[in-house]
């Protein structure tokens, strides 16, 4: 099918929630994807932080194929080994409590919100303005962005958004607060690391008022920021956290991971998911987690992140380069980020993302080589040079 035919079907038959870029991809390997005409693109977005070990990583492909040929699904009415092994690995690599499996970031946050309300027997949820937690009603109610929320009012009651500052967070939390939910580095709003004092204030306020501090690590987790979980670099340990995106190396999976205090709050019948923790995605996630938890890989992510940020800052028209590890954002002098991203894709065959009119986001593969990083900088430099600095 030609790209023109795909675009026609998309317009006629698919509910129009996406503004897609005009390319069809048919194959991926490592840091590269190929379109239907055989052109090769360097992928600095990884399907929005999902294929973080590169496309079709051989270990993940092998784990998926092996498990798919053995057993795909029986439901959570029964025991299966991959999910149990994954739960143990996730818990011992992070907060030490228990895990609930689901299929996406939004669902993981829904589970976290239910956990917090159950623990407090009600209570409000405090999140930060500009944060992003997903599109389902609970997650959307914590996603304090007017354009995303307004068309779907009324939202879930009891949600409050505050500025991402220590003072605002401390002032918002009281004895009626069930949870503070935040991303350690805001992703969808343009890669903004939260200030250390804001995270510390959130931790102290939650401790003082018996609220759950929940980190949304859907985007920051699984090595993206140069540690397995971003909270490890903040000096603050949350009571629970959520993961998804890169968790299963390219397949859909989400997880809520608790610390010990909240491990036994949810009881049989309180929550569930037909597909959650299925054998195939769990096998993929086990492979992804074992690859990602390598100290060498994580050190490499930190080092390559520093290099890319320094070199991007020297490119024409670039301002305010920021991020952690290989979660990178920068602004363009005079705006034009969506236009730059389109030119990068169609003329320079580099995949990036615009989170707004002036902000470009890069979520490159954690496995990006030095040569590929050089190639990426060259293509980025050419596109930025062409827009006249
Ligand atoms: C992408 C994202 C979500 C939503 O994940 P879905 O799988 O699209 O539901 C939630 N939180 C953060 C921080 C994200 O980046």
pTM above 0.75, yes or no: yes
Q: Average the pLDDT over 182-196 and give the result.
A: 98
What pLDDT is recorded for position 388? 72
Short-list 242, 197, 199, 248, CA closest to 49? 248
Q: Average the pLDDT over 228-243 and give the result.
A: 98
pLDDT per position as a tens digit, 1-32 = 899 999 999 999 999 999 999 999 999 999 99
Distance CA 55, CA 312 (A): 24
What pLDDT is recorded for position 188? 97
What pLDDT is recorded for position 71? 98
Q: Average the pLDDT over 49-78 and give the result.
A: 98
Out of 50, 112, 188, 248, give the residue to mutate to test ligand 1, the one with the largest number of ligand atoms within 8 Å of its CB. 188
Catalytic residue among 120, 245, 330, 331: 245
Instruction: Say how many Å lie between the CA of residue 48 and the centre of ligand 1.
Output: 9
Residue 245 annotated in active site: yes
Residue 152 annotated in active site: no
Residue 132 annotated in active site: yes
Instruction: Say how many Å lie between the CA of residue 132 and the centre of ligand 1.
Output: 7
DSSP 8-state class, residue 151? G
Contact 271, 100 (CB under 8 A): yes
Binding-site residues, ligand 1, Cβ < 6 A:
104-106, 132-134, 183, 187-188, 216, 218-219, 244-245
Out of 182, 244, 276, give the residue to mutate to test ligand 1, the one with the largest number of ligand atoms within 8 Å of its CB. 244
Instruction: Say how many Å lie between the CA of residue 218 and the centre of ligand 1.
Output: 6
Q: Average the pLDDT over 50-79 and give the result.
A: 98
Instruction: Name which residue sits closest to atom 6 of ligand 1, judged by CA.
Output: 105
Say whether pLDDT at 336 is over 80: yes
H-helix segments, 320-369: 337-347
CB atoms < 10 A from the CB of 190, how many? 21
Instruction: Say how many Å lie between the CA of residue 315 and the centre of ligand 1.
Output: 30
Q: What residue ranges define each of the domains in the chain, with the CATH number in brackets?
A: 3-56+296-388 (3.90.1150.10), 71-292 (3.40.640.10)
Catalytic residue among 101, 132, 215, 330: 132
Distance CA 363, CA 52 (A): 8
Taking the CA of residue 190 as centre, how many other CA atoms within 13 Å lie in the half-sphere pointing to its CB? Answer: 16
Count helices and strands (H / E) in the chain: 13, 17
Catalytic residue among 216, 239, 330, 331: 216
Instruction: Say how many Å lie between the CA of residue 1 and the centre of ligand 1.
Output: 31
Q: Average the pLDDT over 44-69 and give the result.
A: 98
DSSP, collapsed to helix, strand or coil, labels residue 347 as helix
Short-list 53, 91, 61, CA closest to 326? 53
pLDDT per position as a tens digit, 365-378 = 999 999 999 999 99
Say whether pLDDT at 222 is over 90: yes
């Amino acid at each position: 099918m030609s790209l023109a035919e795909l675009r026609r079907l998309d317009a006629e038959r698919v509910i129009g929630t996406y503004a897609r870029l005009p390319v069809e991809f048919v194959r991926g390997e490592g840091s590269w994807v190929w379109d239907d005409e055989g052109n090769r693109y360097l992928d600095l977005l990884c399907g929005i932080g999902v294929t973080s070990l590169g496309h079709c990583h051989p270990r993940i492909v092998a784990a998926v194929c092996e498990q798919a040929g053995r057993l795909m699904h029986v439901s959570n009415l029964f025991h299966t080994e991959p999910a149990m092994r994954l739960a143990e690995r996730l818990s011992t690599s992070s907060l030490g409590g228990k895990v609930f499996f689901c299929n996406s970031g939004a669902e993981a946050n829904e589970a976290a919100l239910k956990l917090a309300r159950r623990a407090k027997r009600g209570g409000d949820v405090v999140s930060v303005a500009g944060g992003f937690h997903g599109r389902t009603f609970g997650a959307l109610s914590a996603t304090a962005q007017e354009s995303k929320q307004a068309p779907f009012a009324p939202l879930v009651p009891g949600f409050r958004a505050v500025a991402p500052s220590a003072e605002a967070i401390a002032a918002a939390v009281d004895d009626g607060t069930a949870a503070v939910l935040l991303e350690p580095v805001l992703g969808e709003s343009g890669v903004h690391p939260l200030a250390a004092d804001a995270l510390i204030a959130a931790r102290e306020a939650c401790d003082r008022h018996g609220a759950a501090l929940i980190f949304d690590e859907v985007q920051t987790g699984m090595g993206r920021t140069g540690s397995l979980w971003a909270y490890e670099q903040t000096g603050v340990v949350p009571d629970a956290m959520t993961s998804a995106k890169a968790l299963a190396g390219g397949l859909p999976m989400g997880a809520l991971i608790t610390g010990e205090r909240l491990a036994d709050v949810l009881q049989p019948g309180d929550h569930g998911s037909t597909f959650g923790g299925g054998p195939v995605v769990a096998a993929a996630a086990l492979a992804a987690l074992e690859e990602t938890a390598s100290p060498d890989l994580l050190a490499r992510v930190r080092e390559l992140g520093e290099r890319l940020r320094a070199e991007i800052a020297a490119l024409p028209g670039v301002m305010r380069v920021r991020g952690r590890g290989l979660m990178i954002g920068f602004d363009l002098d005079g705006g034009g980020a969506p236009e730059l991203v389109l030119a990068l894709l169609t003329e320079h065959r580099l995949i990036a993302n615009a989170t707004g009119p002036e902000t470009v986001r890069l979520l490159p593969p954690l496995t990006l080589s030095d040569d590929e990083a050089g190639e990426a900088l060259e293509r980025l430099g050419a596109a930025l040079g062409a827009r006249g600095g």
